[in-house]
Structure 1
Amino acid sequence: MAVSRSITPAVSRAPTPFHHSSSSLSTFPKTHNPSHLFRTITISTTPNFPRDSRISTSVSGIWDAITGGAGSSREALIAIRRGMVLFRQGDVPGSVTEFDNAIKLDPRQKAYLWQRGLSLYYLDRFEEGAEQFRIDVAQNPNDTEESIWCFLCEAQLYGAIEARKRFLQVGRDPRPVMREAYNMFKDGGDPEKLVDTISKGRESEFFYASLYAGLYYESQNEADKAKVHLVASCKSPYGERSDDYMASLAKVHCLCRNWEL
């Protein structure tokens, strides 16, 4: 991803559509529409990581230099990276500890910590997770996946019908599979149709279709059907080989549900 939505030092996802892959990025990153200029620094420990392989810094760094806050910003970014590593290793509570520490070090980070929202979901802290995603979408009103994850949290709190009334409207995602997934969650739909439609597409498309089909079934309290698709996403070529944070998430999901892969 070459661009980020962040105007403060924050881990961000890459915004190049999956059909515009580059030599250094995986083929299925997200899209963001930034409103400020910044520079990016690649985290060398997580190459080919489409959703968050880059740390963005901005003109806020000038303010840090003036106020002496640059050290705290750097420490916050290190904490975020540690949290991401812990999540990928299956230590979800440890990841939240690191993400919360990052916010203490640099409160500006909270508006961009979608990774924290994902971890909160798996700790059944749904109200906090929904708040995190709503804050994130307020910063980036074109974030399809965070809108969906907010729905997933609120479906656990209020049920799918009420959560759909509260659904966050966002801009058009450039990825066809995510547009279909977004509409499915927003209006109701058939996860099987989503997967069937994408089954002959790219590996990344099949992974994301299976992932969100499984998550949709979970929001409807259909655990058996959710398991079929979440396990399929993990066992897909993209799920097995990709460094995508969401490929790690699919495995963490199965681990948290005690599903064998």
Structure 2
Amino acid sequence: MAPASVALHAPTTSSPFPAGAGERSRPQWGRPPAYQAPLPPVATRVVPRRLLLPAAAGIWDFISGGAGGAAAASLAVRRGMQLFRQGDVAGSLAEFDKAIEMDPRQKQYLWQRGLSLYYLDRFEEGAEQFRLDVAANPNDTEESIWCFLCEAQLYGIEEARKRFLEVGLDSRPVMREAYTLFKDGGDPEKV
């Protein structure tokens, strides 16, 4: 028994096109021409999937006429960080505050804003910022220490230690030692 074969060409007896359409307008159902990439493989960039969503969001912001919200807030945070590194602490705080205006969800994650507040001697606001950050991330050792430093300026060391934020166990030994040093008055030589 001969194996069954599949026809690769369109049947000639019936046509999906109206009569008189002519032979040239009929589809050619033969083999497709060999696919040729528009650029050689070396010239094309592979984009990781993790970058596709932010890229698509950026395109959408462009098409829709403005980022507003999260994208603009993220840009303000980056500007604030840059200004802080350049020594413009007041300017950095202004950018962090703009970020919060654009996207209020940012506030609880803006530990950078807390640093700006500390260096501007605005300790009460700094402590509040760090407390929000630790509430959002209960394993944030650095922010609990910064909160202590703000509150030590306000209430003194002993009262600040009573208010010290408890955090989870930090995987970094040096940060565990630093946490203990500030919380309990440990030995600075261990750090």
Q: Same fold (TM over 0.5)?
A: yes
The aligned counterpart of 2:72 is 75
The answer to whether structure 1 residue 184 and structure 2 residue 177 are counterparts is no
The aligned counterpart of 2:119 is 122
The aligned counterpart of 1:104 is 101
5+ residue gaps, structure 1: 1-38, 42-56, 58-63, 196-261
Pairing of 1:1-261 with structure 2 (within 5 A): 71-191=68-188, 193-195=189-191
Stretches (4+) displaced over 3 A? none
Provide the aligned C-alpha RMSD in A: 2.1
**Percent of pairs with identical residues:** 78
Partner Cα distance (2:162, 2:179) in 1: 14
Structure 1 residue 40 displacement after superposition:
6.5
Q: Which has the higher strand share?
A: 1
Please tell me whether Structure 1 or Structure 2 has the larger radius of gyration of its CA atoms.
2
Structure 1 residue 189 displacement after superposition:
1.7
Partner Cα distance (1:183, 1:142) in 2: 14
Structure 1 residue 170 displacement after superposition:
0.2
Which SS does the other structure have where 2:128 is aligned? helix
Paired residues of 2:83 and 2:92 also in contact (CA < 8 A)? yes
Size of the aligned set, in residue pairs, is: 132
Structure 1 residue 69 displacement after superposition:
9.2
Amino acid paired to 1:96: L
TM-score (structure 1 length as normaliser): 0.48
The aligned counterpart of 2:28 is none
Partner Cα distance (1:40, 1:162) in 2: 46
Which SS does the other structure have where 1:93 is aligned? helix
Higher relative contact order (CA 8 A, sep 6+): 1
Amino acid paired to 2:132: I
